Structure 1
């Protein structure tokens, strides 16, 4: 990896359960470098051998989407390198709203930029499968990039990387995904489950609350039981934006708007606010 990129500087960004991410500055380009390894089983969590293959899987998906990525192997798994995307996310942008520092309507332009990227992914028949606020990067120009596609579904991949979908971060998981993972150990993500995850991301970014209440230190199975069975928290966000989040968090997948409809509602809400 070092021979391929010839880094000038490196900065550790993430080091957690099966994944390490580095910000790598090379002579001409800046890269996000991800290194995967298996997660051993503990009393609280099952092991995750698939995390060792996640970087290679993501790189192949990015290549399918005509985005630059390279990958390779190391003794414990795989790694990839892809373009670094500088920016922030909705949770950070809307921090002043949650703290009460400002009392003005939400700037929905960043949300629309994220929704547009999700709709474009769906238009190409890909499902992200791991929607959360940190997986949309909003640049200084106001545009957004969707990242962390290791769990995406939609195109053919080599057999060793065609992994069963394990579910995603439960804070943003839809009821049907949680229910299936509890019952079968895997699930089939859909555009509707992506929309639910985006709605839960908007709700968390706007309010600071998870979509469903459960103890912070609860095991993942307990979290999923809550998501599968407990109604989501009341949506207290006012106006058309709040009604959109409510619809996105519908327990029935068929009642949720499509990602394209989410874009339309956000654009309309922005136009109404400007008048």
Structure 2
């Protein structure tokens, strides 16, 4: 932005973090605040400021996020429009997401994975207690700090938990999600509940322990078909250091039928806290993945939609 446009409301745009397909994310400073607090602003790009679907998605993300108050979830602070640009004001959590770290290999986080998984599950559990189903659980949507502190982000396609008559009458026009992590019922356009998020969480745990998602495909439909029909792989087959007990827990999270999965994140946590992830605890790498980010901060992944497909069809539907 030019110097004449480097403010939105009271926020001075200090650094462009990312340009996504429909939004920009900036690090911003509140110059009206004595402490010069910093935030992340998610701003619709000029081509989308009159797009009703994008305006509704931004407003929905705000409405979901404003009701969530947990240290395990990114704080959504405000929804504003200035100079014709709608934007969200979010907590700036200045580290990377798990997907970025995993691109350096699973060893990048393995030494503190026990803490990361527990905090990731706690964030998801809290969201469920507020009667929201996230529907896009994946490594990209968890930010992780150098000490293992972990926060859940991105509520763009979250849905309220359905009960009673609304549960019976549920219909969806659009199947949404990220193909590498979608539960069979989500792929079929059926009602999602806590166990649907747990399936996606299991896919994420598989990737966090092995460095690769549980299923890949030559085409998008091939990948989706594997979630529905293929046998769930064991993490032990890809990483001998994973304990059998933890690998079996991942497989239960990824059961094809919802009733065969743990009934809630709380039940997962209770069992998880009795297990070991690793046969031998990994050592902390000599070179930290956090030292190789080139100044990039985790707020870049607060943008919802990727700009294009990836090789193993992890793009969203």
Q: Give the TM-score range, shorter chain.
A: 0.7 to 0.9
Equivalent residue in structure 2 for 1:112, among 105, 118, 124: 118
State the 1:270 CA deviation.
Answer: 4.5
- In the comparison of the two structures, how many residue pairs are matched? 250
The 3 A distance-change label for structure 1 pair 36 and 251 is: farther
Q: How does 1:37-116 map to 2 (within 5 A)?
A: 50-66=53-69, 67-73=75-81, 78-93=86-101, 98=106, 107-116=113-122
For structure 2, list consecutive stretches of 5 or more residues without a partner in the other structure: 1-5, 70-74, 163-171, 282-317
State the 1:274 CA deviation.
Answer: 10
For structure 1, list consecutive stretches of 5 or more residues without a partner in the other structure: 41-47, 157-162, 181-186
Equivalent residue in structure 1 for 2:255, among 246, 250, 253: 250
Equivalent residue in structure 1 for 2:156, among 139, 150, 157: 150
CA contact (8 A) 2:44 2:86 kept: yes
State the 1:250 CA deviation.
Answer: 0.7
CA contact (8 A) 1:132 1:172 kept: yes
Distance 1:179 1:210 in 2: 20
CA contact (8 A) 1:95 1:205 kept: no
CA contact (8 A) 2:246 2:277 kept: no
CA RMSD of aligned residues (A): 3.7
State the 1:25 CA deviation.
Answer: 3.5
- Using CA pairs below 8 Å that are at least 6 residues apart, which structure has the higher relative contact order? 2
**Which position in structure 1 is the counterpart of 2:178?**
169
**Deviation digits for residues 151-197 of structure 1, max 9, x if unmatched?**
112289xxxxxx966421111111111122xxxxxx43211111111
CA contact (8 A) 1:20 1:34 kept: yes
TM value normalised by structure 2: 0.66
Distance 1:192 1:143 in 2: 24
Q: Which has the larger helix fraction? A: 1
Distance 1:71 1:96 in 2: 35
TM value normalised by structure 1: 0.75
